[in-house]
Amino acid sequence: MPRTEARRLAIIGAGPIGLEAALLGVQLGFEVRIFERGRIGEHVQRWGHVRLFSPFGMNTTAGGRAAIKAELPGHTFPSDDECITGRQHVAAYLEPLSRLKVLKDCVRTENQVLYVGRQRLLKDDLAGDPKRANAPFRLLVREKGKERFEEADVVLDCSGTYGQHRWLGDGGIPAAGELAAENAICYGLEDILGERRNYFAGKTTLVIGSGFSAATSVVNLAELASSAQETWVVWLARTASTQPIKRTPNDPLRERDRLAVRANTLATRTDGNVEFHAQAVIGSVESLGQDKGFKVTALLGKSSQPRTWEVDRIIANVGYSPDGSLYRELQVHESYTTLGPMRLATALAEQPGADCLQHGSRGADALRTPEPNFFILGSKSYGRNPHFLLRVGFEQVREAFGLLTGKPVKG
């Protein structure tokens, strides 16, 4: 299909990248529909109490701000260098963007895309053949318990990863008992000092993880313990370092560095309400009954010394993975390490361990998949790679439309 004919555009996810893609798509003449299984910016709203490391100016585009200002001249944006919370970002930018005249009829919230396929084609038909583009995409969509099909010529999967947690057990698989206890375990960023304060106050919480999400949970629990002194924290990290959060020299993201310093201080001091263990892997999780806590066994150190705790709450900040089931019947070549699209994963592997600020776009060709006119954009494109930034996603949107239109696209 000539690129000029590919006009029906389906976007999965009404988060920062999906909304940016929708705006640009409309401006370029595409017939846009954006399907969001929850609310506008659903994933951002779920961790809306958390302050972003990156400033507002990095998390928006000039085109998006201009479009909002054109319709809402009295709308006030935060300053470009201000680090705001996720909830504030939704209110200041994402919701006004979704309500633009050109977008409001395109956005369909509470519409979950379950699967994407090609009309009359299976995954193994026309392998690697551009003729697959001649068959429209079929999207199975669920709304209010009812299912229907939608068609599209182009699909952008901007559905993110936050809703797909990893498992807390050794080797990345569920710990014994975790599957049964899953609904009682917290896998996200909990609002410990706000809406969930009473849930954690005066309780012993096991936090599992060695990244900034775990650091956020531990720091907030420690702050809670300063006023609710019966609050205790057991922090287990898989890494060997006694300072679990890696700092970036001369970190330009001050909020990130402050969090790292505070979390590492809590991990290394011997007093206070935080008990930290490095080189820890979880063996089993036993639920002791509804709201009666858990018995958790872990192996500690190189010698794998077993240790058991009885805790009231579990926060497993062990990361997220992309859900590939949505496009399982499409020809998408995934990385066996990150689960992101292979071309992009290979390009990102050229900068192993690089800070996220050093990651820019890897070029339009890195976004191509074997499936014509199907693109995975945003955090989902990085898979398990944690270095994604919104500004990279905005670049991806422009590059994808450049491939679709055959000419450079400015945002």
Classify residue 411 by burial, with Cβ atoms within 10 Å: 0-12, 13-18, 19+.
middle
> What digits encode the pLDDT tens for the residues 260-293?
999 999 999 877 799 999 999 999 999 999 999 9
Point out the least confidently predicted range of 286-300, 319-333, 356-370, 373-387.
356-370
- pLDDT at 378 exceeding the cut of 90: yes
> 36-40, 168-172, 348-352: lowest mean pLDDT where?
348-352
DSSP-derived secondary structure letter, 39: S
Q: Which helix (H) or strand (E) holds 347?
A: helix 342-348
User: Whole-angstrom Cα distance, residue 203 to residue 224?
Assistant: 10
* pTM: predicted TM-score of the whole model, two decimal places: 0.94
Opening angle at CA 276, ends 190 and 208, nearest 5:
40
Retrieve residue 16's tokens. Answer: 């920062």
Give mean pLDDT, residues 119-138: 97
What's the chain's average pLDDT?
Answer: 94
Exposed, middle or buried, 399 (CB in 10 Å: 0-12/13-18/19+)?
buried
Question: 380: burial class by Cβ within 10 Å (0-12, 13-18, 19+)?
Answer: buried
CB 366 within 8 A of CB 395: no
Kindly list the structural domains of the chain, giving each domain's residue range(s) and its CATH number in brackets, ordered by start: 3-162+320-405 (3.50.50.60), 170-316 (3.50.50.60)
Rounded Cα distance between 52 and 60, Å, is 13
pLDDT at 310 over 80: yes
Q: Tell me whether strands 31-35 and 154-157 are parallel, antiparallel or unpaired.
A: unpaired
pLDDT higher than 70, residue 355: no
Do 340 and 334 touch, CB atoms closer than 8 A?
Answer: yes
Indicate the length of the chain as a whole number.
Answer: 411
Residue 1 pLDDT: 38
**Cα–Cα distance, 332 to 342 (Å, whole number):** 8
Q: For residue 235, what are its two tokens?
A: 């922090």
